[in-house]
Homo-oligomer: A and B are copies of this chain.
Amino acid sequence: MSEQGICEKEAFLADSVVGEWVEDWLYALRHMEILAIEHEDQPVSYRELAARVASRAAFLEERGVARGERVAVLMTHGLLFAITLHALRYLGAVIVLINARLSLEEMVWQVDDVEARTLLCDEAHEAQRVAISERLAHVRAWRCTVQMEEGARVFIPAPVCLSHVQSIIYTSGTTGRPKGALLTYGNHFASAVASALRLGMLPTDRWLTALPLFHVGGQAVLMRSVIYGTAAVLQDRFDEAAHRARLLRGDITMVSVVAATLQRMMDDEVAFPAALRVVLLGGGPAPVPLLERCIARGVPVVQTYGLTEANSQVATLRPAEVSSRVGSAGQPLMRTNVRIVDGHGECCPPNGVGEIQIKGPTVCAGYWQEKTVRSALAEDGWFHTGDLGYLDSQGYLFVLDRRKDLIISGGENIYPAEVEAVLLSHPSVIEAAVIGRDDARYGQVPVAVLAVHPAYNESALLSFCRERLAGYKVPKHFLVVDRLPRNAAGKLLKREMRLWL
C-alpha cells in the first residue's frame, strides 16, 4: 500500500462508521507476474489482470458508472467476467449476477427489481441485451469485450469495508419470487479463509471450476483466488469433454464438481492426476456409492454442503476424513455455527433430523429490498436453510434433502436423496430423481424419474430396491426419460419434474 493509499484509508476510516477497511485484494497483487487466470488456455498474470481491471474501471467511470450503483452483469465469457467483477469492485459498485440460463422474462424482472441503471453483457448475450433494453428503456445496456479501452490507465480502487455489499445473487427460494442475496466483502473473506483452513491452500494452487461464474460457487472461485493470490482456470462454456481434458492435463490442484459430472468420470474410469489435491463435490447430497467408488480409486473427493446465502460452503469434510465419514458433509467450517431445529423450534439432540440453520461470518447481510435485513434471515440471526439434516454426536453434518422435497407417505418421512442413492448404485441407472406424487390413501407416494442404460429392466430394479429399502420408500412408479432436467449448476430441477406427473 502506497502512502497515498494510507492517507486515503485514514480519511475514509475517519468518515466511516460501517466497519473495517479492506485493502483491495487484487490491487495488492498488481506487481506480481504469477498466474491469476487461465482462460481458454491463455495465461493472464496478476500484473496483467490488474492493469486490465484498472483500465476497465476508468472506462466505466468515465461513462458514469458510480459508487454504490448496482450493475447487472450477463456474461459467460470467463476472462471478461473476471475483469468486470473486479472493475466494479474498484469502482465501489455492486455487481448483480444474472443467471445466463434464465428466460428473458426472468432477466427483465431481476434487472428491474434490483433497480440497475446499467447492464453489461458479453457478445454471446447480444440478443438478450437488445431485448432487455427494449423492455427497460431507462437501463443502459452495453456490449463488452475483453479489449475495449485505449491504453493503460491508473485507477486507485475505491475504499470499501468488510461490511460493504460486493454482489447480489438472486436465489430461487422455496416459494414465490426470487430474492437477491446481499454478499459482502466480509462474506468473501470469511469464506475464503474458512475454505483454506479446511482444504489447505498453496500459493501454487490452480482451481478449475466447471460451475458457471454467475453462480455463487463460480464467483467464489474468482474471489478466493485474489484473496489467496492463486490461479483460477476458466472455460467459457461448460463443455464436459473440454473440462475433463483440462483437468487431466495434470497441473490442476483443486476442482469443483457436481455429482453427475463426477459420476460420468468414474464410469469412464478417468485417471485423475497426482497433483489434484481436492475434488470438491457440492450441489446436493451425494450418493454414497459414488463416494465409495471414489475412495476405492483414491480420488480425493470431499463432500461439501453450501448455499448462495452462505456464499457457498457451510460445511466441508477434511480430506483426511473422507474414508471414515462417508456421506457426511463434514463439520461446519471454522466460525460457522450449525444447529438442527425441529418443527416446534427446538434444537434437536444428536442424530435428530430437523431443519439446518446456520449463523456466522459467511452468511449474507440479508436480501435486497427486505425492510429489515436481519429479519429476512431470522430475528435471532440464524439463517433457516430449508434443508433437512442432522448432526451426529461428533458434530458432523449429514444433509438429507431439501425440506420442500421431503415426501411424507402414510406419516413416514421419505428422504428422496436416500432412495436416489440406492437407485444410482444400480448399474443400469445413469441419473435418478425421486419426487412425491399425491396419493389419496397415503397423502404422497415416491415416484422415480430415471435416465437409464439399454440394459435397464424395471422389475430387476424394483427387486433391487425392495432388498435395500423399507417398503414405503420403494418408488411406486418408474418414469424413464432421456435426460433429467438440471439448472446451470447441475442441480436437479424437481419442480419441473413434478409438473410431469
- State the A residues within 8 Å of B (CB): 1-3, 5-7, 9, 20-21, 23, 25, 28, 31-32, 34, 193, 196-197, 199-204, 227-229, 318-321, 331-332, 334-335, 337-339, 347-350, 391, 393-395
28 of the cross-chain contacts (CB-CB < 8 Å) are A2-B350, A2-B391, A3-B339, A3-B349, A3-B350, A6-B337, A7-B347, A23-B335, A23-B337, A28-B334, A31-B394, A32-B318, A32-B320, A32-B321, A34-B320, A196-B196, A196-B197, A197-B201, A197-B227, A200-B200, A200-B201, A200-B202, A200-B203, A200-B204, A201-B201, A202-B202, A203-B320, A227-B334
Indicate if the CB atoms of B196 and A3 lie closer than 8 Å: no
Which listed residue (B5, B202, B319, B334) contacts A23, Cβ 8 A? B334
Which listed residue (B31, B32, B319, B338) contacts A203, Cβ 8 A? B319
Q: A23-B334, A203-B319, A337-B9 are contacts. A3–B197 as well, Cβ < 8 Å?
A: no
In the complex, the 6 A-B pairs of residues with the closest C-beta atoms, listed nearest first: A200-B202, A1-B395, A31-B394, A200-B203, A193-B193, A6-B339
Indicate if the CB atoms of A2 and B200 lie closer than 8 Å: no
**A31 smallest CB distance to B (angstroms):** 5
Which residues of B have CB within 8 Å of A31? 394
> How many copies of this chain sit in the oligomeric assembly?
2
Which residues of B have CB within 8 Å of A204? 200
- Among A6, A34, A200, A204, the one with the most B-chain Cβ atoms within 10 Å of its Cβ is A200
> With contacts A21-B337, A197-B229 known, what are 13 further pairs, Cβ within 8 A?
A1-B391, A2-B391, A2-B394, A3-B349, A7-B347, A31-B394, A32-B318, A32-B320, A196-B201, A197-B201, A200-B203, A200-B204, A229-B318
Q: A200-B202, A228-B197, A320-B203 are contacts. A393–B2 as well, Cβ < 8 Å?
A: yes
Which residues of B have CB within 8 Å of A32? 318, 320-321
Which listed residue (B7, B203, B349) contacts A318, Cβ 8 A? B203
Instruction: Give CA–CA (A390, B291) in the complex, Å.
Output: 53
Which residues of B have CB within 8 Å of A319? 203
**A47 smallest CB distance to B (angstroms):** 11
Which listed residue (B2, B6, B199, B348) contacts A3, Cβ 8 A? B348
Which residues of B have CB within 8 Å of A6? 337, 339, 347
Which residues of B have CB within 8 Å of A338? 1
